[in-house]
Amino acid sequence: MKTSQFSRLTLSTLAATLSLGLPALAGTFHVDAAATICPGSGSAAEPFCEIQRALDLAQNGDTISVAPGTYYERLVFRGKAVLLTAPGGAGNTTLDASSLGTVISITNGEDSSTVLEGFTITGGLAPYGAGIRLSGTSPEIRDCVLTDNVASQKGGGISMRNNSNPHIHDCQFTSNSALTGDGGGLYLDGSAASVEACIFIGNQAGQLGGGISMENQSAPTLTGVFFHANRSDGGGGGLAVNGGSATLLTCVLLDNISALEGGAIFAQNNAQLALDHTLVAANDAEGGTGGGLFLNSSTAILSQVTFASNSSQVDGCGIFGANSAQVSLSNCIFWGNGGSELIVPFGAAAGTFTNIEGGLSGTGNMDLDPLFVDPANRDYRLSAGSPCIDAGDPNGTLDPDGSAPDMGAFGLGTGSTDCSWTSYCETSPNSVGAGGILQVSGSVSIAAGTMTLIATGVPANNWGIFFYGASQDMTTFGDGYRCVAFPVNRLGSAVNSEAAGTASLPLNFGQYSSGPFGITAGSTWNFQFWYRDPLGVLTSHNLSDAVSVTFCP
């Protein structure tokens, strides 16, 4: 058979191209659980019906776009540097392992070019890492919900080991469990992680760290993380630090419980703990010491931190330190912690410019009611007459108006723009009680970045949406009232309420800093929560009351 000049040229060119090893152009695979042709080709017109098939065929740099639906699969990334994304968001796209093992395994050296985005991850059942298992890898995990995953040992939501260093942000960890071990939501073993703008609600551990547990010189940084109603049967209802170091910036630990020591935080084995602009409130060590923080042979450095309303069965409702524990306080507030704010019988505690009930010797310290706005409703901001305003270290970082910093996590600046929020409108009865109540936890300062919206009194295990707008209204909608006038803007993906009937959403101001709905210093916005209520009075949905928030720098 005679070969044409054109054919010879084409084959020659192709061979040369292959021999040069030129990278293939990045492509996009499409996946849809409702695809009528299975397995499909991966095109938009003929999508794959299974995500794993796309992962197996993808090359580095590819994107895998997954349509809304529920995918009963267990995924393995196989070292691929790909973007696995669900554009419909976690409220509409679910990965369910049906209790057959780990939902997602990323264990082959993947780095930050491997990205997981926008999924609800559930139904995992494994010894370690029921939701996601990481080993020696550093992927980016964002905008995901990890819920109802069960580890028989450690890491119900995520387990990371062997020098993993992922970036996890804008994720929710709810109702995950580590039955006999540590880290109901997240477990770190010899690893470092950056965890930002995530929430840990209703997670449980049989031993240490209902929300997060770490050991073997792990060193995570937690920024804008919200811990609420997590529980451990050992120590650290919210967080357990078993050696290594942990840094908490602009975090909130609220209503966490430990059956033994450390209602909020437990630290031992020469752990190094640093807290900055963080609230530790209403946590409980049911059967031990350290309602807010328990330190054993460890060091804690606290700056502009508020410990309030914590409790314990024995001593140190705020902090209890044992065996040469070291505590350093600066610009902090310790108030209302069951009458025993700080007990370090076999170590040392030093503080400056700190307001502590019962007093503590040191420069600038005081023993005066901080005048929180409404501690009964978890509002630990400073009211206008608080003695803690401008009472911090004048040689430290000054407030934007040039005054000395305020004490505590949520200082109230004295400039022309105050941080404030108020409730308005009416809530309506729902199938579980008087109705949903919306509150703000954390600071409404843009710079602090710790604001979290919390809806209480809503039906458990149902989904809802937080939204906001510029103007107020009161229009009947479903079984309630829409209190925010159109136009409105939805805040992220749908949020699932946990077993206690609470739904939460930490705000990442960077996502909403521009455009017609830009949240900036000096702006005022109105927020509300819409939620499903299948057993509702007249319809199957309802709304909370609303809050109006004025933001400051």
* Number of structural domains in the chain: 3
Coil vs helix vs strand at 524: strand
- Say what the pLDDT of residue 396 is: 85
- The answer to whether the CB of 245 falls within 8 A of the CB of 272 is yes
Backbone dihedral angles phi then psi of residue 289, each to the nearest 5 degrees: -120, 165
- Say what the pLDDT of residue 419 is: 65
Print burial letters for 273-290: b (CB count within 10 Å at least 16), e (below 16).
Answer: bbbbbbbbbbbbbbebbb
- Say what the pLDDT of residue 514 is: 84
Q: Which domain holds residue 250?
A: 234-412
- Say what the pLDDT of residue 24 is: 40
CA gap 357, 439 in Å, rounded = 27
- Say what the pLDDT of residue 1 is: 39
Residues 403 and 428 in one domain: no
- Say what the pLDDT of residue 378 is: 77
Has residue 347 been placed in a domain?
yes
Query: Amino acid letter at 250?
Result: T
Has residue 443 been placed in a domain?
yes
Query: How many other CB atoms sit within 10 Å of the CB of residue 24?
Result: 9
Q: What is the CA radius of gyration of the chain?
A: 25
- Say what the pLDDT of residue 89 is: 87
Residues 253 and 198 in one domain: no
Residues 374 and 429 in one domain: no
Residues 407 and 462 in one domain: no
Instruction: Count helices and strands (H / E) in the chain.
Output: 2, 55
- Say what the pLDDT of residue 132 is: 99
pTM: 0.80
Provide DSSP, 206-266.
Answer: SSS-SSEEEESS---EEES-EEES-EESSS-SSEEEESSEEEEES-EEES-EESSS-SSEE
Residues 438 and 543 in one domain: yes
- Say what the pLDDT of residue 373 is: 82
Which CATH number is 106's domain given? 2.160.20.10
Residues 424 and 406 in one domain: no
Residues 324 and 435 in one domain: no
Has residue 214 been placed in a domain?
no
Residues 434 and 368 in one domain: no
Residues 426 and 406 in one domain: no
Give the single-character DSSP code of 22: P
- Say what the pLDDT of residue 416 is: 32
- Say what the pLDDT of residue 413 is: 38
pLDDT tens sequence across 321-380 = 999 999 999 999 999 998 789 999 877 999 999 999 999 999 999 999 999 988 887 778
- Say what the pLDDT of residue 444 is: 82
Residues 189 and 290 in one domain: no
The closest of 485, 465, 487 to 475, measured between CA atoms, is 485
Long-range contacts of 473-479 (CB under 8 A, 24+ apart): 474/425, 474/426, 477/543, 478/530, 478/536, 478/538, 478/539, 478/540, 478/541, 478/542, 478/543, 479/428, 479/429, 479/430, 479/533, 479/536, 479/537, 479/538, 479/539, 479/541, 479/542
**Quick one: three-class SS letters along 101-143?**
CCCEEECCCCCCCCEEECCEEECCEEEECCCEEEECCCCEEEC
CA distances to 45, 354, 363, 381, 393 from 329, in Å: 61, 7, 11, 19, 11
- Say what the pLDDT of residue 86 is: 96
Has residue 98 been placed in a domain?
yes
CA gap 217, 242 in Å, rounded = 8
**pLDDT (tens digit, 0 to 9) for every residue of the chain, 553 residues total?**
334 333 333 333 333 333 333 334 569 999 999 999 999 999 999 999 999 999 999 999 999 999 999 999 999 999 999 999 999 888 889 999 999 999 999 999 999 999 999 999 999 999 999 999 999 999 999 989 999 999 999 999 999 999 999 999 989 899 999 999 999 999 999 999 999 989 898 999 999 999 999 999 999 999 989 899 999 999 999 999 999 999 999 898 999 999 999 999 999 999 999 999 999 999 999 999 999 999 999 999 999 999 999 999 988 899 999 999 999 999 999 999 987 899 998 779 999 999 999 999 999 999 999 999 888 877 788 888 999 999 999 998 887 677 899 999 976 533 333 567 888 999 999 999 999 999 887 778 787 676 889 999 999 888 899 999 999 999 999 999 999 999 999 998 788 888 778 898 888 787 788 888 999 988 999 999 999 999 998 899 999 999 999 998 7
Alpha carbon 247 to chain centroid, angstroms: 15
Residues 42 and 171 in one domain: yes
Q: Containing H/E element for 382? A: strand 379-382
